[in-house]
Amino acid sequence: MHIEKPATHEPEALSVQDSQSFPESKDLSQENLDTCQCSQAALQMALIASGLGLWDWNLVTNKTYYDPHWKGILGYRVDEIENEHKSFEQLVHPHDLPRIRQVLHDYLEGCTPVFEVELRMLTKSGEWKWILACGKVFQWDEFGKPVRMAGTHKDITQDKAMSTTGCAYATQQYQLFEQLQSTEDQVREKSQQQETTLEELKYTQKQLLQNQKMANLGQLVADMANEINNPVSFIYGNLHPASQYAEDLIKIIELYQHYYPKPAPVIALHLQRLDLGFVKTDFLKLLWSMRAGSERIKEIVFALRNFSTSDEGLMKKVDLHEGLDSVLRILQHRLKQKPDRAGIEVIKNFGELPLIECYPGELNQVFMNILTNAIDALEERMKHDYSFNPNIFIHTEIISSHLSLVNSNELWVNDKQLGKKHRVIIRISDNGKGILPHIQRQIFEPFFTTKPVGKGQGLGLSISRQIIVEKHQGKLKCNSKSGQGTELVIEMNTTTRHYTAIRKHASF
């Protein structure tokens, strides 16, 4: 503790010379040495006669000299107490120690003229003695910081006992102090419990929000898929016979034209107005275009169903590439070219992956969140750079278990427990503007978003991180440099422990 020297107090030339103390070394003549030793002996006799024990404390090193009588007041021999300040604090009653430190602090700050405090100390016999401690700083350094402090201890136990009123008052005060101390401990404990409860509530709230969002999204997607699938299936199923009927009718018309080349004037007039040659060709093209469109709609319906495939919370072995392709089909309307901007090209580099045991619906939600953020970032850059060519890169691979491409402190399950030797890496990156470092540190926090109000709740990446880390024991990391784009890297095992087992052994 470095405290400025009080301006109102002059340092006193007090020093105790002893083989166990630590005064500055000086060259003394024999005569001066004898005089010093006599003065020291006289001082020791005066202290013993007055019942005072002397202490000398170096505030810099915490070395403290306690004279034999100081130790004798408590019933200890000279060698039973070490000359360290901690020896004093270890003997002080725990309830008195904070008050002593406060009184000492007030003195060193210049708030009080002397250090003086009553306290209880433990004797060798196990009893508590009342001690009056007094002291002053007598040495400062060149910057005015206190260096050494000396003082006395006096046994005032009998004085306390003789003064019944004073003793009762003191007892009452200390009982009150102990009650306050106990109350403070209880308040602190309740505060800690409330903090723990608050953290649990935050986690539960986030979990409920995620579950609600996933349930609502899954139900919505399933309903949409069913609603679209029924009429589309009817149209798609009837287009083939309709095309066949059209071809047959056109064939009949062609036969009539061949065997009856000169139709009646009324028919000839209608044929001239109709342009039968164009109708025959374009009608078949129209039917085949309708068939191609219905096939596209069926693909989208399949993608929607695949996106919401595991709302039951069951683990399945799936092809992650199918999940990625399904999400890309759903987002096709945001990827294609528009009048006010270029189309976003998706460059896929899929490796050979085995079937991955996972929660496929929730992984699809992760892919959706990451790809949506990538599209948002590219659209934002395209607003300011019309010559910009937006790209999204998706790379998948499988690596050996002793390698790890993601440095993270997240929970990771030992491969020996899983009995697997491979991990799956999925990289989704864009060539947008990138993320600034101070924002990058917060992107996985719940409710953090840089998007305008109404365009984002700040839960997408937070939920994605929870799905990857907690439900799949994987890792999710963001790599980004300003002006060079952003990359989200997912690392997972090829098999995953069931989430129920993870929660059972979790610490939260």
The predicted pLDDT at position 43 comes to 58
The predicted pLDDT at position 22 comes to 44
Residue ranges for the chain with pLDDT beneath 70 = 1-49, 163-171, 203, 206-222, 303, 305-313, 401-421, 448, 450-459, 496-508
* Alpha carbon distance 85, 96 (integer Å): 16
The predicted pLDDT at position 10 comes to 39
* 321: CB partners within 8 A, 6+ apart: 350, 353, 396
Residue 381: its H or E element: helix 360-384
The predicted pLDDT at position 436 comes to 82
The predicted pLDDT at position 90 comes to 92
The topology (CATH level 3) of 38-161 is Beta-Lactamase (3.30.450)
The topology (CATH level 3) of 313-401+419-495 is Heat Shock Protein 90 (3.30.565)
- Residue intervals in the chain for CATH 3.30.565.10: 313-401+419-495
Burial of 112 (0-12, 13-18, 19+ CB in 10 A): middle
Say which DSSP state 122 is in. E
Tell me how far the alpha carbon of residue 60 is from its chain's centroid: 39
The predicted pLDDT at position 15 comes to 40
The predicted pLDDT at position 375 comes to 92
**Entry pTM:** 0.45
- Residue intervals in the chain for CATH 3.30.450.20: 38-161
* Alpha carbon distance 339, 168 (integer Å): 91
Tell me how far the alpha carbon of residue 25 is from its chain's centroid: 56
The predicted pLDDT at position 37 comes to 55
Task: Count other Cβ atoms within 10 Å, centred on residue 392.
Answer: 24
